[in-house]
Every structure is written in C-alpha cells, then in structure tokens.
Structure 1
Amino acid sequence: MDTVFLVLLLIAAVIGANAVYARFKLVPVAFLQIAAGLVLSLTPLYRNFELEPEIFLLVIISVLMFNDGQNTNIRKLSHQLGTTMSLAVVLAIVTILIVGTVTHFLIPAFSLALSLALGAIITPTDAVAVSSITTKVSVPKAVMSTLENESLFNDASGIVAFNLAIAAITTGQFSVWHGITNFLYVFVGGILVGLLLGYIIVAMRINLINAQVDTPSVIVPYTLLTPFVVYLIAESLGVSGILAVVATGLIHGVQQERLRLTTSRLQIVMSTTWSIVASILNGIVFVLLGVSLPSVISHLQQRDTGSVAILIGLGVLLYALMTVIRFLWLQFDFAKLRAWDHHEKAKNSWLIALSGVHGTITLAMAFSLPLTLNHQAFMYRNDLIFVAAVVILTSLLVPTLVLPLILPAKVDQVTETDLAKAKVEMVTSAIHMIQARYGESPSASKVIMILEGQRNLDGRPDRAQLNQLFDQAYNIEETTVEQMLANGEVTLPVAQKYLRVASQTRLQNQQSFWQRFRLFIKFVIIGKFFWSKQSRARRRAHQKARQKGLDRKQLKARNREFWSQMRAIEQKPYQAIVTWLNDSYTVDNHQAIGIVRRAYDQRHQRLSGTRDLQDAQNELLIQAFQLEYNFVQAQTAQQKYDRALSNALYEQISTDQLVYLQSVNVE
C-alpha cells in the first residue's frame, strides 16, 4: 500500500507542476517539476525513498524510447541518417571518452571505468527538454529535426556504453577489443531484434484490425505492453533492450498508414493515451530528482563538507566541455546538414551545441546505478547522481537564458484572438442557418447547444458580464409574459408562478462558487430541519385538501395540468431569449452567452419533457458541420481568411465532428 501511495503522490506532483505551467509559462516545466519534488521530499514518506534501478530502464526509459520511435518521421530520418549517426553514435562515443578521461584526471578517486560511466550518463541529449525551453523562440526546423533524430539514438549509445562501464566496474577488467565487439553485438543486435519483433507485433495488430477486434480496450493495452515485451525479450538475448524498443517504435511509425485502418475514435484514444503517458513519465523523472536531491546532498556533506562544491564545479565544467565538443564537431563538418547556409554555419553550430539539453534519459540512467557493487554499498553512487543533476540543471538554465538572445521570438501564424473571432463568426453563421431552416424544433435546439461548445475557449467568463446577461434574459422573459398576459394567453396566477420560476433560474446561475458552497453546507447541516418542516406542511396541505373533498388522484391531475400550462407559457419566452442571445454574440461575450444559453436550454428540456430523436439530431448536426466547412471555404475564397487560419478552423471542425459522433456511437 505504501508503494501505491508513493506512486500516486509522484503523479499528483507532476499534475500540480503541469497545472502551474499551464497558467504561468515563464519557467520551464522541468524546473517546476523539480520544485514539486523538493516539496515532496519534506514528507516523511520520501525521506528514505529508494527506487530499484531496473525499474527505470523497464518502466520509464523503454516506454519513452518506444514513443519517440513511433513518432519519428522515418523519411526525414533516412535523409539525415549520416548526420544522425555521426552525432548520435560517433560523437557520443568521442564525448564519453573525453569526459571520462577528464573526470578521471581531475578526480583520481574516480576510476577510469567509473568516469566513463559518468560520461555515458551525461552524454545523451533530450529533444523533449529542448522543446520545453524553446516555447517562446523560433528554432530553425533543420536544427530541431537534427536534435530530435540525435536524441533518438544517442540515448541508446549512452545506455550501451553505460552498461559496458558498469560491467567493467563490477568485474574490474576491461578489454578494448572485447569492449568494441561487445558494443557492436549489443548495438546491432538490439536493432535487429527490435526490427524483427516490431514486424511481428505490427502484423498481429493488423490481423486484429482485420478481424474487427480493434476496440480501445484491446488495442490500447496491446500497444502499451509492446515496449515492455520487446525490452524483456531483447535483454534476455543479451542485446540492448532500449535499441530494440527504439527499432520497434520506428516500425510502428513506418506502418502508421496501415495501422490507420482503425476507427477514428481509436486513433484519438491512442494519441491521447500516449501523450498523457509520456508526459507523466517525463514529469515523474524530474519530480524524483527533486525528491532525491536533499538526501543526496545530505549524504555527500556527511562524507566531506567540501565535496558538494567540488562536484558542482565538476558538473558545470563537464557541461561546458561537452558544449565545446559539440560545436567543434559541427564546425569542422564531422556532421553536416543539407539545409545549412554557409554564412549561418557558425550560428547553427552554436545553436545545436547549446541545445544539447540533458534530461530524462540522463537522470534515469543516474538513478539506475546499482545500489551495491560486489555485495558492498556503491560508494560513489550519490556523487554521480549529483553531478548528473548539476549537468541537467545547467543544460536547462543556459539555453533558457541564451537562446532568446540569439533567436527571434516565436510568432504564431494564427493568434488566439483571430481564431476566437473566426470561430464565433463560423459557428454563428451555422446556427443562423439551422434556425432559418428548422426553427426552434427540439432537434435544432439540441444541435445549436452542441455547436455553441465550439465557440467557448479556455478561460473564465467575466462574472459581472454573466450576471448582466442573466438579468437581461429575465427582463426579456418578464416582458414576454406580460405581453402574453395582456393578450389573454395566460392567467395572472400562472404568470406570477412562472415569473417566480424564471427569477429562480436567474438567481441560481448568478451565485458565485462560495455562495453555492454556503448553500450546500446549509443544505447538509440543517436540511433535516427543513425536510421535516416541509413534510409537516405537506401533511397539513393534504389534510386541507381532503377536507375540501380532493383525493390524491385529483391532486396529481391538478399538478399535471399546472405544469402543462407552464410548458405552454415557457415556449415564447424561451424562443425570445434564444433569438436575443444569438443576435448578441461577440468575441468578448461568447463564453458568457454560451453559459446563459446552456442554462435556459436545460430548463427548457426539463419543462418540455421532450426527448430528441438521436438519428434526426445526428443528421442535423452533420449538416451543421458541413455548413461550417462551407462558411470557411467562402471566407477563404473571398480572401477574408488566410490559409493558416482556415486550416486551424478546419482542424477544429474535424475534431469536434469526430469526438461528438464517436461519443454518440458509444452511447
């Protein structure tokens, strides 16, 4: 139970950090996740927290690498294969050797094998971490593509070299020839095993699709289990499980066209599931860094009060050394990019060098260091974890400060304001067309309520604006009922009762969260008193009714007649409010109007007691989506919308259409 609780707290910390980042994007999300981990480290549960090293490789790294592989553009990778292999394999090995030698020279207490293990840990780069710190700057596509392809394979290079170094530390022996042959066997063998297993797994999945066994409850778990199965099989054969997982992911990426034979609903579920899983796992690693740092620093200080400062200096020095090596490697054309302009060569070389951010894989390998060596505690384990943490933090901090100085700010092709305005125009046009063709029929009202969801963007509506709209809606109801009373369409008692119901609708929706919360507390604490009081009142009413000679059936008949009158009255005020709301839509008030419209639609459905026919509603909704497509096409043809804005609107329409129709199929 404690383990489950620990994992849940880690996930909660990731969610909290991501939520803060969603609102305040001034600080990279990785720093927020580390801060969340530092907060968790204050709790007693995490003071002696230790995670088995094997869990990192199996549960975290294998899943992340598989996801990276299946999302890789294989065509771009093949075009840049020479550059990718130069950076991810040759440069990685050279960097590991140089970093290991320098570390052993500076700190002789670290054996050469241990220093090489440190080099293997801090060499891999992380394209995801780069993306998190470049949200506000425009990174050239060629640079970003190179970084993504490099991180896909240099992770595996670092892990293979890391395993060889740990084996040398454990056995105390290392042969250069044996190391090279073993590296090739583990590296190439991992790729071959991954390719073979990838084809088998994809073929089995396609057979499931052809047999119409393509429900999310089957395919999603099947895909999520893939990296675990591939990793365990490859490791049992003595080859790199990580490279096997990458190769299997690449096969999934190549076969995407065939795998898209599945339903749209399954594609949405798969994409969303993998996005969430990758985000949570990446976040957990940085949270664990925050959790572990206080304990690591404490152990280092107990051994030597000056060791922390020395290791900080070593981490910063090694980061600077790796950055210079990367720059020189590119500057002297050991790795080339076809898209490079000769005059931009130095700048792009520095961009790739500075963007060599170290993240999840580096930290995961550090945590995967064995707890014991030769049945004794691994003395320098905390040292290596701390140096890796310093390198990660430095590699995140430096580009965060430097890249905005040398790169232009990112300019969105479509601003949120333009998109919001266009969405309001598009949906409003569709709503008016539906109203003109079908009036205020139950199906049309339901479809209009669904369409309004497209107009509502993220954020909160202005409370004062919302209250004003509800006041105006009530005034419209009151005016309409007064006109009906003057025309003799309704009696005074029924009109007064209806206006009390209308007033209640306004007051309920104008209340703030805290007002509703106080009402809830009042309901819970003194509800029994009111219930008993109302029960006594109902008993007295029934007694009076019996005294007048009215039985229970007559009371029910009178009640049905009353609500029938209410439904008849409600039609005109409801139609007047809907017409007014549709005519009042603007970019500034669309959220508040959407809330008001939903409130009155829900009340209308309760009073009318109508049940829309699903088939008619679906057919009408498909027409509404087509009307939106037609509107965007017309605006584009008239050059009122540019291509980027039109594509954003088309994407919005397609997503809404798929999600709604798939949800109908589920129902």
Structure 2
Amino acid sequence: MTNLYLIAFILVGVITANIVKPFFPKIPESFVLIAIGALFSFIPIFNEFTLEPEFFMLLIIAPLMFMDGKEQSIRTIRTNFRLIIELSVTLAIFTALIVGILTDRLEAHWSFPLSIALAAIVVPTDAVAVKSITSGLSMPKGVNRALNLESLFNDATGLVMLNLALSVLQQGHFSLVHGINQFLIVAGGGVLVGILASFIIIKIRTYLTTHAVNAAATIIPISILTPFAIYLLAEHWGVSGILAVVASGIVHNWDSSRLRLNSTEVQLTTSTIWKTLTTILNEVVFLLLGLSLPAVINEMIQIGFDYSFELIGLSLAIYTVMFIGRFVWVRVEKSQRLQPFFGHQDQPERFKSARLFGISGVHGTITLAMAFSLPTTINGQPFPFRTELIIIATLLILISMLVASLMLPRLLPREQTDYTPEEINQIRDQMIDYAMLRSQEQISDRDIREAISAQLNSQKTNLRNFDQVRYSEEYLNELNEIADFVSAYTHGDYVNATYSDDVIDMYNKILQKTLLNPNRRRHPIRSLEHQFRRVFHEMRFHISTGTITKKQRKSFYKKRLNTDKKFAEKVKTWKANQEVLLQLNNDVMQAVDTHLDDILRENLQSKTNSNELYLARKTMDRFFTMIQHDFHQKQININSDTFVQVFRYEYDYVQKGVQDESIKPAIANILFNEINQAQALQLMKNKEETLAIE
C-alpha cells in the first residue's frame, strides 16, 4: 500500500508542476519539476526517500529509451552508424578517460578504478533535459540531431564502463582484452536480444491483429509491456537492457512504417497512449531528482562544510574538463560525417556548434540512478567513497543543467513561427463558420443542422460559454439585433396578412418578457434575488390556495374555469390561438435562421469573429423551444455520411485558402491534422452510439 501511495503522490506532483509552470514561464520546466519534487520530499511518505536504481531503470528509463529508439528509423541509424559509434562510444570513452585521469590526480586517496567508476557515472547525457531547457529556443537542427543520436547509446556505454570498473575494484586487476570482450558481449548481446525479441513480438502482434476478438484490447497492452519485457529478458541474460530496448524501439519503428491500414485505429490509439505516457515519465524523471536532493544534502551536511566545498570544486573541475573535451572533439574532428551536423571545420558555424554541443552535454537522472546503484559493500568491505560519488554525481547534474539554462538562452535565438496563436485561432474559426454555413444550406432538417452546428463549434478553442458572455456587450448587441429583427418581422406585411393582431401581440409579449427581459442583464446577485422573489411568490400562491400537489392544482384549475368566466374566456382564447401561435413561431424560426445565415456569411467575408453570434443563436433556439413547450432532450441521429461531408467542407476551405495563399502551409498542416482527428473521433463515437441502439 505504501508503494501505491508513493506512485499516487508522484503523479500528484506531476499534475502540480503542470499547474505551476505557467506562472513561471522563464524558468525551465525541469527546474520547476525538481523544485516540486524537493518540496514533496517534506511529505512524511517521502521521508528519507532514496532512488531505487532497479525500479528507476525498469519502470521509467526502459520505456523512455524504447520511445527514443522508436523515433529513429533504420535508415537514419544505417546512414549515421559511424557517427553514432563516435558519439556514443568513442566520445564517451574519451570523456571518461580524461575525467578519470583528472579525478585520480585531484583525489589522491582514490584508486584509478574508482575514478573511472565516477567517470562512467557522469558520461551519460540527457537529451530530455536539453529539450526542456531549450523549449521555445531555436537549436540548430544538426546539433539537435547529434545530441539525440548521442543519448541513444551512451547510457549503455556508461553502464558497461561502470560494470568494468566495479569488476576491477572487486578483482583487483584489469585486462584490456577481457574489458573489450565484456563490452562487446554486453553491448552486442543487448542489441541482439532487442532485435530478436522484437521480431517475435511483432509476429505475435500481427497474428492477433486479424485473429483476436478485440484487437485493440490485446495489442495495446502488448505494446505497453514490450519495453519492460525486453529489458528484463536482456538483464536476465547478463546483457545491456538499455541497448535492448533501444534496438527494440528501432525495429518497431521499421514495423510501423509497413503496417496495413486495417490496424489504423489501433495505431492511433497506441500512439496517443505512448505520447501521454512518455510525457508523464519525462516529468517523473525530474520529480524523482528533486525527491532525491534532500538525502544528498543531508549527506553533505554529515561530511562537513570543508569536505563538501572540496567536492563542489571537484565537480566544477570535472564539468569544465567534460565541456572542453566535447568542445575540442567537435572543433578539431576532420571527419566528413560531422559536416551535416556541425558544419564545415573551417567555417565559424563549426565553432558555434562545438560550443553548443559542449554546453548541451547535460546530465540527468540516469547519472543519479547509476550513482545510487553502487553497491554498499565490495569484497565484504564498505564500498569506498560511495557517498562522495553520489554527491559529485548530483552536483554535476545540477551544474550542467544550471549552466545550460543560463547560457543556451543567450546563445540561441527564440523559436520563430510564421504564424501566431491568434492567427491560427482566427482561421480555424473561419473554417468552422464556413462548414457550418454550408451545412445550413445543404441540410433541410433543422434539428440535424443545429446538432451539426454544435459539433462544429466544439472545435473552437476560444469559444466562451453562456456564463462568460451573458453580460458581455458583444453578446447583448447580437441578441438585441436579433430581437429587433424578430419584432420587425412580426410587424411586417406577411405576418400581418397571415395572423391576427391578438396572436401577434401575444407572441411579442412573450418576446418582451423572456428574450428582452431586463432581468436577463442584471448583475448575477440581483438576478438571483429576482429569481428568489419569483419562487417565493409562487410558493405563497400555492400555499394560500392549497394547491400543493399536482392533483390539487388540476382540481383548482377546473374549479376556477367553472366559477371565473373571465379566466375561462382567457383560457379559451389562448387555446384557440395556440396552434396559430406555433405556426407563427415556425415562420419566425425560419426567418431568423435565414437572417443569421446572412450575418454569418457577411462575417465570414469580412473575417469577423462569430462566436457571440453562435451563442446568441443558441439563445434564440431556447426561445423557440420555450414557445413550443418542447423541453425534452431530443435524440438526434446523424449518419456517418453527413459527418464526412461536413468535415469535407472544412477541408475544402483550408485547401482553397492554401491555393489562393490566404492560409499559410504550416497552419494548413495543423488544421488538416485537427480535421482528421475530429473526423476519426466523431465517426468512432457515431459507431458506438449505433451499436448501442442496435
């Protein structure tokens, strides 16, 4: 139960961070999450929280690395294979050696294998942390690709080097041949396990796609469990679980590119689930780092200020050496393979790219997880300087993130888009208004037209509800204009020639008491007071007349009809005019619909916002319903062909805008994607409702 509470509080922390982030737009998301994690550490359940490496690597890192691999195509890996080896293996080993030599020189009490163990821990870089820091900044595409390719496999390189260092510490000697063999076995074995296991899983999944009763309920859980199963399988056989899940992700990327369309629904659902899961896990990574900080700070307090200050100095020196190593490697490397990523060696672009690559060598929680994974004992003795290794790893994470957060915003320009959020909202609204107008013209059934209109307007991201616009000037102006039109129409030649004055007067009185009632415009508190008074007077009438129950009210009504001639005559007149009143209401309804369509057409031509018009239209629809005394919620069934045609109107509007260059291609791509998603969702919902009826 404690673990359940722990997971629940971590998810609450993620939710809290997402609520807090908008209030601190200039602070990188990762620092907000770390701060929230540090604050959560004061909750009793997190007291003395320590990161469990096995739990962290299996439940968080494995699925994240699987998705990182899934974002890389086999063609990309094959084209850049040598560069990946240089970034993830050669550069990692080079960096580890210079860090190990520096640490061995500065810490006289440390053995060289222990220094290499520290170097192996701090070698892995975290592309997720870099993305968090550079959110909203324009990182050069080549440097960004290099950082992603580097982080694919350098985690495994660091883990293998750490295992070799621990083996030397335990056995007391190092064999170069044994080390290389061990590296090849662990790394190559991990890749082989990931590839073979993935092909088996893909075969099973392909079979179930066509033979399972419910393919989605079978395949989606298999997809989610895949990285965990492959990681555990690889670790069980003593090879790299990280490389296994990365290789598995790459194979699944290849498989997804050739899947048949009969599994489209499953693919879309799986993709959505994985995107959400990846986002949450990326945030949990930094949250766990924040939760771990108090334990590290407590260790620094216990070892004393002087020694802690010495470790801070060592951490700064290690970071500086790692930055210089990364910078020099990119700056002096003459390989042609680096040019697409960092530019030509003789050009100023190479210097800038080298500097960005060095600063972007940010370390994350894999480094911290590796530090916490160090054994407490070795050869029956306490592991030497374990606390110091954990402290240095934590300090390096914070230093690398802090330097990147301070320097990258100064070196990188703000990310530029050729459109603004306001612009895309405006074009989206116009697209929806166009589709709504076309559907009003093509669909004869008014109930279906109004249902379609409601569905289309739900796509608007800036559409306000009645409570937000009830007292706004724009909404009241639209409503008054419509009311003036209704009043003018009911006093027009056609109505005067068709209906009696009594019916026209009755309709206008209802219009005045409801739609144009000044109480509609009162302040909410005064409006509530008015409603209270109305209810109070009704209750007093029912109590004074003794008409509490429905049966008593009927009896009182019949008695009054027999005794009150004036009332009886009034009721008789009202009943005689009721059918005629309903006919007038239908005529007014058709006239108002035509009038509102004309306004919508004018707004579309002048690119004017029609949100208040739509809400005023809904208010009029409520008024017409009240006249009809039809307050029952209608079940409107809209067939799939109608929805397809309506969404086609939206597609046509965007396509025409692209052709006449009134809509930018980037905006068109976003809107096309939204139309496809809305259409798929609506058709799926329509299918479910049809099955429920059957």
TM bracket, shorter-chain basis: 0.7 to 0.9
Task: Give the match's secondary structure for 2:125.
Answer: coil
Where do 5+ consecutive residues of structure 1 fail to align?
A: 524-528
Distance in 1 separating the partners of 2:362 and 2:490: 73
Amino acid at match of 1:572: V
Corresponding residue number in structure 2 for 1:273: 273
Question: Aligned pair in 2 of structure 1 residues 477, 376: CA closer, same or farther (>3 Å)?
Answer: farther
Q: Would you say 1:572 and 2:584 are equivalent positions?
A: no
Shift of 1:108: 3.4
Shift of 1:247: 0.8
Contact kept, 8 Å, 1:86 with 1:334, in 2: the verdict is no
Distance in 2 separating the partners of 1:129 and 1:106: 29
Structure 1 residues 442-453: aligned runs within 5 Å: 442-453=447-458
Distance in 2 separating the partners of 1:531 and 1:372: 83
Question: Aligned pair in 2 of structure 1 residues 13, 609: CA closer, same or farther (>3 Å)?
Answer: closer
Contact kept, 8 Å, 2:69 with 2:247, in 1: the verdict is yes
Task: Give the match's secondary structure for 2:431.
Answer: helix
- Quick one: percent identity of the two aligned structures? 33
Between stretches 449-458 and 579-588, larger displacement belongs to 579-588
Between stretches 282-291 and 342-351, larger displacement belongs to 342-351
Question: Aligned pair in 2 of structure 1 residues 83, 541: CA closer, same or farther (>3 Å)?
Answer: closer
TM-score by length of 2: 0.82
Corresponding residue number in structure 1 for 2:186: 186
Structure 1 residues 192-591: aligned runs within 5 Å: 192-211=192-211, 215-259=215-259, 261-333=261-333, 336-339=337-340, 340-341=343-344, 342-343=346-347, 344-370=349-375, 380-438=385-443, 441-457=446-462, 463=468, 467-476=472-481, 478-479=483-484, 482=487, 487=495, 488=499, 490=503, 502=515, 539=548, 542-549=551-558, 569=585, 572=588, 575=593, 578-579=596-597, 582=600, 584=603, 589=609
Question: Aligned pair in 2 of structure 1 residues 446, 357: CA closer, same or farther (>3 Å)?
Answer: same
Query: Which whole-Å deviations, capped at 9, do the CAs of 1:482-507 have from their partners, x for residues lacking one?
Result: 55775557476676566655479995
Distance in 1 separating the partners of 2:672 and 2:385: 56
State how many pairs are aligned: 650
Corresponding residue number in structure 1 for 2:21: 21
Shift of 1:621: 2.3
Contact kept, 8 Å, 1:130 with 1:355, in 2: the verdict is yes
Task: Give the match's secondary structure for 1:258.
Answer: coil
Between stretches 393-402 and 537-546, larger displacement belongs to 537-546
Contact kept, 8 Å, 2:156 with 2:243, in 1: the verdict is yes
Shift of 1:185: 0.7
Question: Aligned pair in 2 of structure 1 residues 497, 129: CA closer, same or farther (>3 Å)?
Answer: same
Distance in 1 separating the partners of 2:194 and 2:356: 33
Corresponding residue number in structure 2 for 1:641: 663
Distance in 2 separating the partners of 1:164 and 1:61: 21
Q: 1:651 aligns with which of 673, 676, 684?
A: 673
Between stretches 152-161 and 327-336, larger displacement belongs to 327-336
Query: Which whole-Å deviations, capped at 9, do the CAs of 1:18-62 have from their partners, x for residues lacking one?
Result: 333356431111000001012112222212223432111111111
Between stretches 361-370 and 68-77, larger displacement belongs to 361-370
Contact kept, 8 Å, 2:547 with 2:556, in 1: the verdict is no
Corresponding residue number in structure 1 for 2:565: none
Q: Would you say 1:63 and 2:63 are equivalent positions?
A: yes
TM-score by length of 1: 0.85
Distance in 1 separating the partners of 2:329 and 2:320: 14
Query: Which whole-Å deviations, capped at 9, do the CAs of 1:79-128 have from their partners, x for residues lacking one?
Result: 22111110101111121222123223222344433332221221111222
Structure 1 residues 601-620: aligned runs within 5 Å: 607=631, 609-615=633-639, 618-620=640-642
Distance in 2 separating the partners of 1:224 and 1:515: 55
Distance in 1 separating the partners of 2:143 and 2:360: 9
Amino acid at match of 2:194: G
Distance in 1 separating the partners of 2:291 and 2:253: 35
Shift of 1:412: 0.8
Shift of 1:325: 0.7
Contact kept, 8 Å, 1:444 with 1:620, in 2: the verdict is no
Shift of 1:395: 1.9
Corresponding residue number in structure 1 for 2:651: 629
Contact kept, 8 Å, 1:68 with 1:246, in 2: the verdict is yes
Shift of 1:571: 7.8
Shift of 1:290: 1.4
Corresponding residue number in structure 2 for 1:125: 125
Task: Give the match's secondary structure for 2:548.
Answer: helix
Shift of 1:376: 7.0
Question: Aligned pair in 2 of structure 1 residues 562, 121: CA closer, same or farther (>3 Å)?
Answer: farther
Corresponding residue number in structure 2 for 1:115: 115
Corresponding residue number in structure 1 for 2:163: 163
Distance in 1 separating the partners of 2:580 and 2:83: 77
Question: Aligned pair in 2 of structure 1 residues 212, 625: CA closer, same or farther (>3 Å)?
Answer: farther
Task: Give the match's secondary structure for 1:414.
Answer: coil
Query: Which whole-Å deviations, capped at 9, do the CAs of 1:147-166 have from their partners, x for residues lacking one?
Result: 11111011111122223334
Amino acid at match of 1:140: P
Distance in 1 separating the partners of 2:407 and 2:466: 38
Distance in 2 separating the partners of 1:590 and 1:383: 64
Distance in 1 separating the partners of 2:547 and 2:167: 83
Contact kept, 8 Å, 2:371 with 2:393, in 1: the verdict is yes
> What's the RMSD between the two structures over aligned residues?
3.9
Contact kept, 8 Å, 2:434 with 2:650, in 1: the verdict is yes
Contact kept, 8 Å, 2:74 with 2:251, in 1: the verdict is no
Task: Give the match's secondary structure for 1:139.
Answer: coil
Question: Aligned pair in 2 of structure 1 residues 532, 563: CA closer, same or farther (>3 Å)?
Answer: farther
Contact kept, 8 Å, 2:186 with 2:239, in 1: the verdict is yes
Contact kept, 8 Å, 1:34 with 1:290, in 2: the verdict is yes
Shift of 1:591: 5.3
Q: Would you say 1:664 and 2:686 are equivalent positions?
A: yes
Question: Aligned pair in 2 of structure 1 residues 247, 539: CA closer, same or farther (>3 Å)?
Answer: same
Task: Give the match's secondary structure for 1:455.
Answer: coil
Shift of 1:229: 0.7
Contact kept, 8 Å, 1:53 with 1:369, in 2: the verdict is no
Query: Which whole-Å deviations, capped at 9, do the CAs of 1:345-377 have from their partners, x for residues lacking one?
Result: 222222222222222422333343445556776
Amino acid at match of 1:208: L
Query: Which whole-Å deviations, capped at 9, do the CAs of 1:231-260 have from their partners, x for residues lacking one?
Result: 111111111111111111110011112335
Contact kept, 8 Å, 2:299 with 2:387, in 1: the verdict is yes
Distance in 1 separating the partners of 2:289 and 2:441: 60
